């Protein structure tokens, strides 16, 4: 390897590190915006975010970066080595980034900073018109971005690529079209057993006690609080604000402690992925998550494959009773039934596991229609409500419980939702494989020992960074790409023990 080659690689690593300093600082600006920022600070915060986004974009799209990458590509690197991974991923992100002018990136950042405030207001007042002007501008910018990135087939492919590299609209459509009727069939197959809906002893479940319990659970799953924390936001999320700085958020209802708990378990799954990336590679592709569909597999694996099991509640029941004495009047089985209860409802993040993917598929269809030209922004509420009626059989009472419920569009994230259901499928497939690979896994889960499972995920997923594409990673870890089989089996098993 020539010195010049090594120099180019080193310089690129440094540049990537600088961009990570800027990007992670911007994550902090956004985290703060959603947690603690005073309301009047929003317009200037939008300027701060836009400035850093533009700066990072300019640094990464500078002509010399293209030159350094080309120089690196001339080298004979070990094809399986870290350097080869980084160079390949740098090329991908450089090509994608250089197709957008800095002005457009800054415009999106500014619109979404303001759009977030508009969305908060609109959602509070259940009034789509308050968010519509922002949303129109955000969609328009995304349409322009898709055109600039270029695509074959659907313009939506160009947006998907940003969240799930290598994914294709048509393939996802096919997978979802196969999945949806199976879920509907499962929903309809449940024999009415005459029993009342499961319920918890009435609240209040004090927020402080919820925080205490959630923290215990997150810690037990393996989340490192020396390198992370939990705060409160309107919409739960996980963000990485720097090396060893992974932050989770949730929201609290004093009537029902399981909302915030499963919010935190879900985000802990994301957090464990982020904390499991190799810190020595932080700031390069080898130290970054590969896609949202893989990210979501981690959150849903802990949430649904692990923490909705009956044995999870058998293990945690005593601790839960210490935090919430009224639970003594319930039982592990009652709580497990409650948190697995299947019931068509309006809010995705509060939906049960079985109906959840119908929510996602609805959004996916609307987004594809929006970007393939079959839907305009002003028609979203109507289209949403009609499809919701058709897919979930419910009449949406207002936009707060309809198309305004999710934060994503206000953040300019189109192409994102599909990864939730890819995550469900991947989670089931990874868990089924870990169950085959890890000796005594069932036994350790029963005893509240999560380390063997986490270790398997560390080795087969987290530590791989961006070595593989999502589908390569699934093949390497489970022997096949994303399929619906393991997931449908999981749902069937669950429905059968629930109704036993």
Distance in angstroms (rounded) separating the CA atoms of residues 293 and 163 = 8
Distance in angstroms (rounded) separating the CA atoms of residues 473 and 203 = 44
Our CB check for a second copy shows the closer of 45 and 337 to be 45
- The token pair that represents 16 in the structure block: 């990537």
Binding residues among 248-307 for a second copy as defined by CB under 8 A: 282
Respond yes or no: is residue 267 known to be catalytic: yes
Give the interface segment with a second copy, choosing from 46-54, 161-169, 264-272, 333-341 (CB under 8 A): 46-54
Task: Please report the DSSP string for 410-434 in residue order.
Answer: GGT--S-THHHHHHHHHHHHHHHHH
In the list 22, 218, 294, 461, the residue contacting a second copy (rule: CB under 8 A) is 22
User: Under the criterion CB under 8 A, does residue 43 sit at the interface with a second copy?
Assistant: yes
Give the interface segment with a second copy, choosing from 5-13, 45-53, 103-111, 199-207 (CB under 8 A): 45-53
Distance in angstroms (rounded) separating the CA atoms of residues 28 and 49 = 10
User: Under the criterion CB under 8 A, does residue 15 sit at the interface with a second copy?
Assistant: no
Give the interface segment with a second copy, choosing from 15-23, 148-156, 318-326, 474-482 (CB under 8 A): 15-23
> How many residues in total does the chain contain?
500
User: Under the criterion CB under 8 A, does residue 204 sit at the interface with a second copy?
Assistant: no
Would you say 353 and 308 are in contact if contact means Cβ atoms under 8 Å apart? Answer: yes
**Buried b or exposed e, range 173-183, using 16+ CB within 10 angstroms:** bebbeebbeeb
From residue 131 to residue 150, the character string flagging contacts with a second copy as x (rule: CB under 8 A) and all else as - is --------------------
Radius of gyration of the chain (CA): 23
> Residue 138's closest CA among 117, 163, 169, 166?
117
Q: Among 30, 83, 117, 267, which one carries the catalytic annotation?
A: 267
Give the interface segment with a second copy, choosing from 28-36, 158-166, 212-220, 251-259 (CB under 8 A): 28-36
Distance in angstroms (rounded) separating the CA atoms of residues 93 and 88 = 9
In the list 157, 241, 291, 482, the residue contacting a second copy (rule: CB under 8 A) is 241
Q: Least CB distance from residue 19 to a second copy, whole Å? A: 11
From residue 207 to residue 236, the character string flagging contacts with a second copy as x (rule: CB under 8 A) and all else as - is -----------------xxxxxx-x-----
User: Under the criterion CB under 8 A, does residue 58 sit at the interface with a second copy?
Assistant: no
Would you say 98 and 61 are in contact if contact means Cβ atoms under 8 Å apart? Answer: yes
Distance in angstroms (rounded) separating the CA atoms of residues 495 and 336 = 12
User: Under the criterion CB under 8 A, does residue 41 sit at the interface with a second copy?
Assistant: yes
418-437 helix and 451-460 helix, angle to the nearest 10 degrees: 110
User: Under the criterion CB under 8 A, does residue 52 sit at the interface with a second copy?
Assistant: yes
Give the number of residues in contact with a second copy, rule: CB under 8 A: 36
Query: Within 13 Å of residue 85, how many CA atoms lie on the same side as its CB?
Result: 17
Q: Least CB distance from residue 25 to a second copy, whole Å? A: 5
User: Under the criterion CB under 8 A, does residue 32 sit at the interface with a second copy?
Assistant: yes
User: Under the criterion CB under 8 A, does residue 468 sit at the interface with a second copy?
Assistant: no
Q: Least CB distance from residue 107 to a second copy, whole Å? A: 16
Backbone angles phi, psi at 380, to 5 degrees: -60, -50
In the list 30, 34, 45, 358, the residue contacting a second copy (rule: CB under 8 A) is 45
User: Under the criterion CB under 8 A, does residue 120 sit at the interface with a second copy?
Assistant: no
In the list 5, 29, 277, 418, the residue contacting a second copy (rule: CB under 8 A) is 29
Give the DSSP H/E element, type plus range, for residue 436: helix 418-437
In the list 11, 13, 15, 28, the residue contacting a second copy (rule: CB under 8 A) is 28
- The token pair that represents 427 in the structure block: 């989670």
Distance in angstroms (rounded) separating the CA atoms of residues 77 and 66 = 18
318: which residues sit within 8 A by CB, 6+ positions away? none
> Residue 497's closest CA among 340, 375, 365?
340
Distance in angstroms (rounded) separating the CA atoms of residues 129 and 123 = 10
From residue 361 to residue 390, the character string flagging contacts with a second copy as x (rule: CB under 8 A) and all else as - is ------------------------------
In the list 11, 13, 15, 51, the residue contacting a second copy (rule: CB under 8 A) is 51
Our CB check for a second copy shows the closer of 52 and 358 to be 52
User: Under the criterion CB under 8 A, does residue 103 sit at the interface with a second copy?
Assistant: no
Q: Least CB distance from residue 39 to a second copy, whole Å? A: 5
Our CB check for a second copy shows the closer of 56 and 470 to be 56
Task: Please report the DSSP string for 202-217 in residue order.
Answer: P----HHHHHHHHHHH
User: Under the criterion CB under 8 A, does residue 88 sit at the interface with a second copy?
Assistant: no
Would you say 176 and 168 are in contact if contact means Cβ atoms under 8 Å apart? Answer: no
204: which residues sit within 8 A by CB, 6+ positions away? 254, 255
* Residues forming the active site: 267
> Interface with a second copy by CB under 8 A: which residues?
18, 21-22, 24-25, 28-29, 32, 36-41, 43-45, 47-48, 51-52, 224-229, 231, 241-247, 282
């Amino acid at each position: 390897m020539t010195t010049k080659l090594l120099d180019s690689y080193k310089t690129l690593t440094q540049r990537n590190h600088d961009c990570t300093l800027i990007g992670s600082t911007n994550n902090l600006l956004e985290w703060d915006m959603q947690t603690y920022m005073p309301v009047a600070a929003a317009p200037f915060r939008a300027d701060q975010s836009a400035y850093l986004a533009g700066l990072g974009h300019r640094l990464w799209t500078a002509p010399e970066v293209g030159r350094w990458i080309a120089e690196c590509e001339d080298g004979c690197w070990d094809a399986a080595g870290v350097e080869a991974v980084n160079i390949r991923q740098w090329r991908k992100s450089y090509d994608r980034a250089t197709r957008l002018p800095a002005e457009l990136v800054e415009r999106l950042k500014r619109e979404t900073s303001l759009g977030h405030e508009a969305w908060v207001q609109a959602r509070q007042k259940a009034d789509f018109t308050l968010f519509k002007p922002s949303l129109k501008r955000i969609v328009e910018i995304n349409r322009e971005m898709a055109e600039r990135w270029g695509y074959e087939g659907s313009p939506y492919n160009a947006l998907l690529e940003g969240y799930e590299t290598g994914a294709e609209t048509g393939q996802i459509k096919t997978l979802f079209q196969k999945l949806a009727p199976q879920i509907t069939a499962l929903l309809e197959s449940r024999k009415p057993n005459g029993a009342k809906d499961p319920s918890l002893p009435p609240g209040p479940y004090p927020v402080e006690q919820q925080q205490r319990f959630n923290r215990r659970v997150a810690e037990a799953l393996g989340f490192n609080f020396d390198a992370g924390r939990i705060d409160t936001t309107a919409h739960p999320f996980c963000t990485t604000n720097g090396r060893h700085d992974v932050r989770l958020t949730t929201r609290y209802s004093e009537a029902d402690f399981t909302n915030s708990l499963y919010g935190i378990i879900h985000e802990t799954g994301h957090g464990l992925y982020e904390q499991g990336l190799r810190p020595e590679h932080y700031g390069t592709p080898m130290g970054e998550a590969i896609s949202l569909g893989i990210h979501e597999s981690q959150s849903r694996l802990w949430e649904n494959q692990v923490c909705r099991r009956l044995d999870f509640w058998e293990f945690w029941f005593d601790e839960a009773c210490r935090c919430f004495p009224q639970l003594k009047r319930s039982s592990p089985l009652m709580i497990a039934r409650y948190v697995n209860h299947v019931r068509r409802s309006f809010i995705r993040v509060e939906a049960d596991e079985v109906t959840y993917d119908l929510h996602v598929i609805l959004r996916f269809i609307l987004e594809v229609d929006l970007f393939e030209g079959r839907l305009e922004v002003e028609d979203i509420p109507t289209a949403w409500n009609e499809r919701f009626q058709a897919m979930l059989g419910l009449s949406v009472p207002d936009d707060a419980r309809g198309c305004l419920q999710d934060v994503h569009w206000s953040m300019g994230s189109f192409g994102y939702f599909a990864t939730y259901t890819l995550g469900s499928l991947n989670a089931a497939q990874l868990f089924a494989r870990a169950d085959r690979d890890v000796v005594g896994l069932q036994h350790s889960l029963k005893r509240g020992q999560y380390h063997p499972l986490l270790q398997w995920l560390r080795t087969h997923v987290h530590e791989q960074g961006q070595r593989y594409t999502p589908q390569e990673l699934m093949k390497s870890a489970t022997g096949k790409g994303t399929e619906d089989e393991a997931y449908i089996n999981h749902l069937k098993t669950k429905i059968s023990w629930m109704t036993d």
